[in-house]
Chains A and B, each alone.
Chain A
Amino acid sequence: MAIEVRIPTILRTYTDGAKAVEGAGGTLSALIDDLEGNHPGLKERLVEDRSGSIDLRRFVNVYINDEDVRFIGGLEAELSDGDQVVVLPAVAGG
C-alpha cells in the first residue's frame, strides 16, 4: 500500500533531499513508524511525548488529502492506498 508523503525543505536532510517519499500504514501513526524505518530521525521531528502519550508536535502540520489531521483524528487518522500526505512546519513566531 503506497502513500505519497510530501516532505518540507527543513526535513529533507532525512530523505536525502527528496521532496516526496512513499510509505505505508493504515493510520498516520503507522505511516510515521513505517517512514522512520527508511528515514531514521524523521519521527522525532513529527511527534513528541506529551506527558506519556505520543502526539503530533504543536508546530508541525500534517494534511491527508488537504485535510488538517487535527480535525480528522490526529495520529489515529485513517489512511488508504493512494492518499496524499503533506507535512508542513507551522509558519509562526513571537
Chain B
Amino acid sequence: MLTIAQEIFDAIVAHAKRDHPDEACGVVAGPEGSDRPERFVPMVNAAGSPTFYEFDSTELLHLYKDMDARDEEPVVVYHSHTATEAYPSRTDIGLASEPNAHYVLVSTRAHGNSEGPVEFRSYRITDGAVTEEKVTIVPLTNPQQTEEASTP
C-alpha cells in the first residue's frame, strides 16, 4: 500500500496537469527504509514527449547524490500518461529499475490541463511483474503543527 500526504498527491496531480499533453515525471524521496514519501522532487522530462519520459542524465546524477547525502531513497517514482490509462506500459515495465519504489501513474487523458479528477494509481514493478496496490491519502504530513500555525 502507498500512503501519501494530500499536499504531495496534489503536487503530483498539478505537475501532470501543467505538463499535459507531454508526460510529467519526478520522484518523492523519503528516509531510506521508511517507506514514507516526504520530499517532492518534480523532474524535467528530457524527452519532452506525450508518449515517453526520461530524466535528464545530469539531473539524475544530482538527484541521486542529493538523496544519498540525505540518507534518502526514491520512495515514489511518478509519471503521467496523457492519452491512455494510468497503467504501466510495456516500456515502463521494461525500464523499471527501482524494485523498492512505488511506481505512481497519473492519467490526464480525461481533463488535460483543466480542472477535474485524474486517475492516480500505484504499482510495484519487480522483475517485469506489475502489482497494483491501494493508495491511501492522509490529510496532512504534520497536522499538529499546522493546527498550531493556524491558531491566532
List A residues at the B interface (Cβ < 8 Å): 8-10, 59, 61, 63, 66, 68, 70, 86, 88-94
B residues less than 8 Å from A63 (CB atoms): 61
Q: Which chain A residue shows the least CB distance to B45?
A: A92
Is the Cβ of A93 less than 8 Å from the Cβ of B64? no
7 contacts between A and B (CB under 8 A): A9-B98, A9-B100, A10-B98, A59-B95, A93-B52, A93-B89, A94-B90
Measured between alpha carbons, how far is A88 from B47 in the docked complex, in Å?
18
Q: Which of B59-76 contact A (CB under 8 A)?
A: 60-61, 64-65, 73
Assess whether B13 is interfacial by the CB under 8 Å rule: no
Binary contact readout B48-64 vs A (1 if CB under 8 angstroms, 0 otherwise)? 00011111011011001
Is the Cβ of B61 less than 8 Å from the Cβ of A89? no
Is the Cβ of A91 less than 8 Å from the Cβ of B61? no
Q: What is the distance, in angstroms, from B10's C-beta to the closest C-beta of chain A? A: 22
Is the Cβ of B61 less than 8 Å from the Cβ of A10? no
- CB-CB under 8 A for A66 and B25, given A92-B52, A92-B95, A94-B89: no
Is the Cβ of B51 less than 8 Å from the Cβ of A94? yes
Name B's interface SS: mixed
B residues less than 8 Å from A59 (CB atoms): 95, 97
Q: Which of B68-120 contact A (CB under 8 A)?
A: 73, 77, 79, 88-92, 95-100
Q: Which chain B residue shows the least CB distance to A91?
A: B55
Residue in B52, B55, B73, B97 whose CB lies within 8 Å of A10: B97
Measured between alpha carbons, how far is A62 from B64 in the docked complex, in Å?
13
Is the Cβ of A89 less than 8 Å from the Cβ of B97? yes
Q: What is the distance, in angstroms, from A84's C-beta to the closest C-beta of chain B? A: 11
Q: Which chain B residue shows the least CB distance to A89?
A: B97
Q: Which chain A residue shows the least CB distance to B88?
A: A93
Is the Cβ of A92 less than 8 Å from the Cβ of B54? yes
Q: Which chain B residue shows the least CB distance to A12?
A: B99
Is the Cβ of A93 less than 8 Å from the Cβ of B53? yes
Measured between alpha carbons, how far is A66 from B99 in the docked complex, in Å?
24
B residues less than 8 Å from A10 (CB atoms): 97-99
